[in-house]
Amino acid sequence: MFINFQALGCRLNEAELETWASQFMQYGHQVTNDAGEADIVVFNSCAVTAQADRKSRQQIGRLQRANPAARLVVTGCHASLQPDAVKNYLGVDLVIDNKSKEQLVDRTLQLIGDKAGAGASVEPDFDGALNALLQRGRHRGFIKIQDGCRYRCTYCIVTLARGDERSRSEAEILAEIRRLHRQGVQEIALTGVHVGGYGSDIDSSLYRLLSEVLEHSDIPRIRLASVEPWDLPDHFFELFDNPRLMPHMHLPIQSGCDSVLRRMARRCRTDEFARLVDKARGAISLFNITTDLIAGFPGESEQEWLQTMKFIERVGFGHIHIFPFSARAGTKAAGLPGQVDSATKKARSREMHELAAQLKHRELRRHLGGRVQVLWERQCGGDGTQWTGYTPHYHRIVSHDPQLRASSISTVTIDAVSADGAVLVNRALQPQVTLADFGRHAARG
């Protein structure tokens, strides 16, 4: 059987898809990128915003229309928050909520009558994981280390959809990392809903887990997905003395104004965040900090927005994910007074996007003339002679060395910044190259 995997939303959703893909391949099924030729389509849905909810519904409809004969399995946050509605969507054969995701492969095999696969061991013992990654256009393994969150930020529905915190054991995580490395994966990213809360339920911590991974595995490159800034101990950045831990962290600030952060029920003030950034940059040269930011949170005045703009400019970020506030039913923020009108939210988002582009250009220029190791991912450009990948600092770079290969790591010089200030360039191959030249995957950098 051919199985196609689809996801919206977070890196955790991607990590889960990779696990399922490897398991299905163990049972003799094949992964396909073409939903139209698939016998089974697995969709990991998102509900982080009202727009994500709508996109999840739309995607289910598109998948059904593209291949009415395929069995459609829907899971994820949208399916968990609205299971009865999703069951009644046209073409949906199986709905699996987040709490039952570990049963997804077995239940899908039961759905198609695969008695041999259902209930069998899901410990892959062949080189299928890398194939599953490459077939899905991925070149780093996302490792799910935990699920759920103990906090209740007022805008967030994910804590309801994902439930209480549940950490995987250090031994299980290490075994997965070693297995992926044996199969040729060069880089992994540790991900979860509340990554910094890892170990709260099993007498461990993120610091301890990273120490174990660095000591007891040999995988060349280790990254962290989004980590809440209040979770990190004072000595955390000592870990980055090991060059296998990549010098980049995504620390979501959400607002640069303390009064807005209080309405969000965030547990970090702007001065604390700024000190954390200073620690990172003081410990590791050119450490790259990226972040998330919400524009137009309920009650956000013009003065509060100006405070945010000034704070973001003062701290500086390598990349900013910017979201106009979306009133998500079921969250406290949806009922807060002072809802900001759509036009103002859009205007503030545009303003922040302009600042973010300037900050990114400034960040990339700091790397000019350096030599970096790059994990190459794919060919790009109109003639397919260019390659794109990521530096240790998680900056996208492009080269046209014909000797490069996908999932290989090589050292190159940084010779230029692209014309739009968004991409690093090796060997200055095209003076006018821009991020748009790299297709639909480009925005992920």
pLDDT for position 107: 95
136 falls in which pLDDT band (50, 70, 90)? Answer: low
pLDDT digits (tens, 9 = 90+) for 240-289: 999 999 999 999 999 999 999 999 999 999 999 999 999 999 999 899 99
Percent of the chain with pLDDT strictly greater than 90: 71
pLDDT digits (tens, 9 = 90+) for 291-301: 999 999 999 99
3-class state of residue 416 by DSSP: strand
Name the pTM for this structure.
0.86
Q: What is the DSSP letter of 34?
A: -
Could you tell me the two tokens for 306?
């100006």
The beta strands (E) that lie in 180-287 are given as: 187-191, 221-224, 248-250
User: Which of 30-44, 103-117, 239-253, 390-404 is least confident?
Assistant: 103-117
Could you tell me the two tokens for 2?
């051919």
pLDDT digits (tens, 9 = 90+) for 192-216: 999 999 999 999 999 999 999 999 9
- Mean pLDDT, the chain, integer: 89
pLDDT digits (tens, 9 = 90+) for 315-365: 999 999 999 999 988 899 999 999 999 999 999 999 999 999 999 999 999
Which domains are assigned to the chain? 2-111 (3.40.50.12160), 138-365 (3.80.30.20), 371-444 (2.40.50)
pLDDT for position 159: 81
Work out the average pLDDT over 103-110. Answer: 94
Q: Which residue has the tokens 């040269």?
A: 285
Counted residue by residue, the chain has a size of: 445
CA–CA separation, 396 and 445 (whole Å):
6
pLDDT for position 133: 55
10 falls in which pLDDT band (50, 70, 90)? Answer: confident
308 falls in which pLDDT band (50, 70, 90)? Answer: very high
Of 380, 373, 365, 378, nearest to 415 by C-alpha is 365
